[in-house]
Amino acid sequence: MKKLSLLGLGAGLIAAVAFSAAPAQAESTLDIVKKRGHLRCQIGTPAPGFYNLKKDGSWVGSDVAVCRAVAAAIFDDPNKVEFQSVTSTVRFTALANGESDFLSRTTTWTLYRDTQLGLTFTTVNFYDGQGFMVPKDSGINSALDLKGATVCVLTGTTTELNLTDFSRTNKLDIQPVVFEDSNVRNETYLKGGCDAITNDKSGLASNKAGFPDPGAHTILPETISKEPLGPMVRKGDGQWFDIVRWTVFALVAAEEMGINQGNVASLAANPTSPEMARMLGKEGDLDKGLGLPKDWVVRVIGAVGNYGEIYGKYMGSKSPDGIGIARAGSQNDLWTKGGLMYAPPFR
């Protein structure tokens, strides 16, 4: 009898453990988002190029476009997004505790962030590297000239650690001046409160574009780190991870196949290749694992354009919202043109 009851207790315990360790039973992020009726997307504090606030209160930018693309895939409406503008310091906690559905905010993929925060990177939507900017009249032409210099830097970033690594490696004795708010960092630099500012190079181009006299500042030639930037989600919901990851892949694959905002509807009706037919939902059932409607890629490209169109609008030099970063021949060009932008097959 005793043995039996002990066994019963053991089985009960096992059942209890199994029950509490079964997040698969929990409501999926996709269901939560659909029920809520909009997406919650974390971006940064306003910075031209990536996430910038227009006078009418709307958000634009390349990272904003990723949020809108996912909203379009789910709701067929790129405006069904609540943008949460957060600082570098709070971004991971805000995502981990469920305040947002994903993070689309110039965030560098690192081992620590990918394995110790309960979060995971989906893919890379911009390949970057850290640099320095100085006033043009400073006489500084190289990062190696920054001996003993004060450098404005944002806390809670890879930027902060790279700066100290660079200083130690090159025995430069750089004095970091640390900020939590990017506006205060920029204002301090502009008022001469530090000799240089350091950020991802695209971030520097963004900062420069927002300065009253952009021509008065120079980005130094050195790139001191690798900064692969991409969207993050919480670990544990594979379908949601796939939705965000494959939405970014769809932007890249569409560019590769010549699908753009203007022609996507007609190509969806008359695809010019079998892969295009599958990707645009005319053939096969590639949508099934994602839990999205068949025409999700058509919705995405129709709403935000392909990767190249987004880049041109927000990162390039030919648009009023762009920050002037040349793409041709860079890591952010398509792999077919020598870059690193590569989407796995849609099959």
The span of 5-13, 152-160, 164-172, 302-310 binding ligand GSH (CB under 6 A) equals 152-160
Stretch that binds ligand GSH, among 41-49, 245-253, 287-295, 300-308 (CB under 6 A): 41-49
Closest to ligand GSH by CB, 201 or 299: 201
Q: Which is nearer to ligand GSH, 47 or 290 (CB)?
A: 47
- With binding defined as CB under 6 A, does residue 200 bind ligand GSH? yes
Burial letters 152-182, b for 16+ CB under 10 A, else e: bbbeebbbbebbeebbeeeebebebbebeeb
Residue whose entry in the numeric block shows the structure tokens 């919202």:
321
d(CA 142, CA 254): 39
List, in order, residues 6 or more apart from 113 with CB less than 8 Å away. 92, 107, 119, 121, 232
Task: Assess 227 for contact with ligand GSH (CB under 6 A).
Answer: yes
Rg (CA), the chain: 23
Under the binding rule (CB under 6 A), the answer on residue 247 touching ligand GSH is no
Instruction: Decide: helix, strand or coil at residue 280.
Output: coil
Please list every residue from 50 through 79 that binds ligand GSH, using CB under 6 A: 50
Give dist(CA 264, CA 284) in Å, integer: 18
The 100-139 contact track toward ligand GSH, x by CB under 6 A, reads ------xxx-------------------------------
User: Which region, judged by CB under 6 A, interacts with ligand GSH, from 73-81, 197-205, 230-238, 298-306?
Assistant: 197-205
Shortest Cβ 335–ligand GSH spacing (Å): 23
Q: Residue 70 in 3-state DSSP?
A: helix
Give the nearer residue to ligand GSH in terms of CB position, either 229 or 264. 229
CB of 301 to ligand GSH, least distance (A): 26
Q: Does 206 bind ligand GSH (CB under 6 A)?
A: yes
Residue 331: count of CB within 10 angstroms of its CB: 16
* Residue (102 or 296) nearer to ligand GSH, CB: 102
CA neighbor of 291 nearest in space, from 29, 77, 115, 22 = 29
Closer Cβ to ligand GSH, 172 or 205, answer by number:
205
- Tell me how far, at minimum, the Cβ of 87 lies from ligand GSH, in Å: 5
Residue 184: count of CB within 10 angstroms of its CB: 13
Distance CA 341, CA 326 (A): 15
**Exactly one of 182, 247, 306, 332 binds ligand GSH (CB under 6 A); which one?**
182
| Residue 153 is a binding residue for ligand GSH (CB under 6 A) | no
Of 3, 67, 218, 305, residue with least CA distance to 11: 3
Among the listed ranges 115-123, 140-148, 153-161, 315-323, the one in contact with ligand GSH (CB under 6 A) is 153-161
Q: State how far the Cα of 95 lies from the Cα of 192, in Å rounded to an integer.
A: 35
Residues 6+ apart with CB under 8 A from 168: none
Residue closer to ligand GSH by CB (options 208, 299) is: 208
Token pair recorded at residue 304: 């935000």
Per CB under 6 A, which region of 154-162, 270-278, 302-310, 316-324 contacts ligand GSH?
154-162
The footprint of ligand GSH (CB under 6 A) covers 44-45, 47, 50, 87-88, 106-108, 154, 157-159, 182, 199-200, 203, 206, 227, 229
